[in-house]
Amino acid sequence: MLPQSRTTTGMAGLHQITLLQGGQELFPALRQAIDAARHEVRLETYIFDFDAAGEVIAEALVRAADRGVQVYLAMDGVGTPRLPPLWARRFDDSGVLWHVFQPLGRWGAVIPSRWRRLHRKMCIVDGEIGFCGGINIMDDFLDPSVGPLHQPRLDFAVRVTGPLVQDMLETAARFWWRMTVASELRERELPAAWRALQQRVRGAMMTRRQDAADPDDEQASQMGSLPALGARAELVLRDNLRNRRRIERAYLKAIGTARSEVIIANAYFLPGARLRKALVMAAGRGVRVRLLLQGRYEYFLQYHGSRPVYGALLAAGVEIHEYAASFLHAKVAVVDGRWATVGSSNLDPLSLLLAREANIVVRNRAFAEDLRQRLEQAMVQGGRRVDAQAFANRSWRLRALEQLAFGVMRLGLMLVGRRY
């Protein structure tokens, strides 16, 4: 039997968590951390696009490997189906260990078991610095479907130091082991191999704690917002083993205990019945519930499939704002100005039922207020509020498209044996 994954709450008073908005804030901090790496870099991403922004990170990975750092790069087979031959050679020549997770191949798109994706975006450097959020390695001002963007995508990540990074490291190491090693070992060898990996991770962590303090830590912490010092934080995972509903439950608990305000920004929004009920009940007890959702057409299913749930939410008094200044890619929330989450998980069936996701939950007023202000600014400057009456009077053509998209999503879930 494989060991079960775990999530833990880090010790209060030891975390430093910095909110980073978009690749413009994330990529410089990420490059700086990789360039200062002494032992190991583990990077997981759904999309690695080798555009100008992506090449900055790719070059940093190569530099790290060239100086003897162990570099592990995992990419998803749908988000990143193939690497450019030049970069595949450069990674191989420098010693970067890279793997494309579960490429679809010729028939993968019609095989439901192949729909499970690696959607989380995490990077762990030397077991001391972690990054987690919704930002892919790609240019914020360029979209593959529409070309250049006038405004950057709206998305967030966090930079973390403290005990939580150990959880991130073990999560990434476990996934790499499952992805690249488990299939090559005989069943009787798996427990011993996992124990050996755990010992190596613990030994590496002890060695790193004995090293001198990171000289770049203060400089890195100045990127993005000011860090939340001593924040309580937790890594919350979704996978197909033990952590099937942890992210959804974290949202349900926060919304269910909300007293004054819930703000959710989510790119692909099609919550299941429990989440919809929690939002309706929160609004019913006087909580101000605001949703910032995708306002630009990106994919047929994403755009039309989410709208059948609008009616009940609007009728309950939930405010829906659609972001149209650029593409919304954020997966974040703030509750009562004290609870916040930043991560990769959308509130839709793919994220909540099929994909590997990672969110950071933070309980810190300064951090939550920083994120809240940024979301409010996005609503004011780039959003438009959905009018309940206008939505009720939308055309029958739109209603038909919405039901078609919603039905296709439901059918897909039936094929993989999931209810939503």
The answer to whether 140 is a known catalytic residue is: no
- The active-site residue, picked from 15, 304, 321, 331, is 331
- Does the annotation mark 253 as catalytic? no
User: From the candidates 126, 214, 239, 370, which is the catalytic residue?
Assistant: 126
Q: Is 329 considered catalytic here?
A: yes
Which of 119, 155, 304, 370 is an active site residue?
119
Is 121 an active-site residue? yes
Active site residue 126: yes
Active site residue 66: no
Nearest to 348 by CA among 271, 277, 411: 271
Q: Which of 139, 140, 239, 336 is catalytic?
A: 336
| Active-site annotation holder among 15, 304, 321, 329 | 329
- Catalytic residue selected from 15, 121, 304, 321: 121
Active site residues: 119, 121, 126, 329, 331, 336
